[in-house]
Amino acid sequence: MSAPRRQIVELAYHLARHGEDPLSPASLAVTEGRIRWYQEIGSTSCGDLLHCVAEACGYRGVALNRGDSWESEVNLSRWFVPPFAHGGTRIWRPTIDQIKPGDFLCLDYESPRAHGCVLIANNTDWITTADFGQPGGHVYADQRVYRDRKSLVFRGRRIDCAIDVDTLPWAEAAMTVFDFCAEHNVPLEPYTPLEYL
């Protein structure tokens, strides 16, 4: 089964755009309701977005951190920290031509500020990402990107690694935005399919 890049991009964009309010239906769906008490349990909701779209788009591997098996403080490590149990390829310090919309990015990997997000669009000068963890969602559109001596940098943060979603084992068909919203009681509203791919 091929990687569902388009569905990852469209779902991550939609959830981040409609999840800015931490208690919105979109935010509650991404965090499985944990956002209601995030200060008490320390939910790393930036990683919740990666797991949410991976599950919705058909990933069923052991790296998934959702549902009854959810564990605090492992959201990012399941994707980016060795040993890699997700069955895909992690690209260390990628170049701009090595990342594509739908890939999972880790910013500031070697820092306590490590952050995961989904790449929505890119070219040689800018990128757009869907992020959670402020708390809530946000789309960072058309952010300038450049390369320093070590890595790509945008929003003052290094893109230290990426997960190439083409290499993940996709076990089931991907949900559309409408399917996901209907299943998770997120208000159904029109959306425009993204043409980044």
Among 34-38, 42-46, 61-65, 106-110, the least confident range = 42-46
Q: Which helix (H) or strand (E) holds 71?
A: none
pLDDT tens readout for residues 32-60: 988 877 655 555 579 999 999 999 999 99
More confident residue, 119 or 71: 119
CB 186 within 8 A of CB 29: yes
The alpha carbon of residue 65 and the mean position of all alpha carbons in its chain are separated, in whole angstroms, by 13
More confident residue, 189 or 178: 178
The pLDDT, as a whole number, for residue 34 is 85
The pLDDT, as a whole number, for residue 190 is 66
CB 196 within 8 A of CB 186: no
Sequential DSSP letters for 115-156: EEEEEEEE-SSEEEEEEE-SSSEEEEEEEEEEE-SSSEEETT
The pLDDT, as a whole number, for residue 44 is 55
Alpha-helix runs per DSSP H in the chain = 5-18, 25-30, 38-41, 45-56, 77-80, 177-183
| Token representation of residue 17 | 């755009």
The pLDDT, as a whole number, for residue 1 is 41
What angle, rounded to 10 degrees, do the helices at 45-56 and 5-18 form? 140
pTM of the model: 0.93
d(CA 77, CA 14): 24
In this prediction, residues 102-108 reach a mean pLDDT of 97
pLDDT at 196 over 60: no
d(CA 124, CA 101): 13
CB 175 within 8 A of CB 11: yes
Other residues' Cβ atoms within 10 Å of the Cβ of residue 109: 20
Q: What sign does the CA torsion over 129, 117, 104, 113 have?
A: positive
Among 35-39, 127-131, 136-140, 146-150, the least confident range = 35-39
The pLDDT, as a whole number, for residue 146 is 95
In this prediction, residues 118-144 reach a mean pLDDT of 93
The pLDDT, as a whole number, for residue 72 is 76
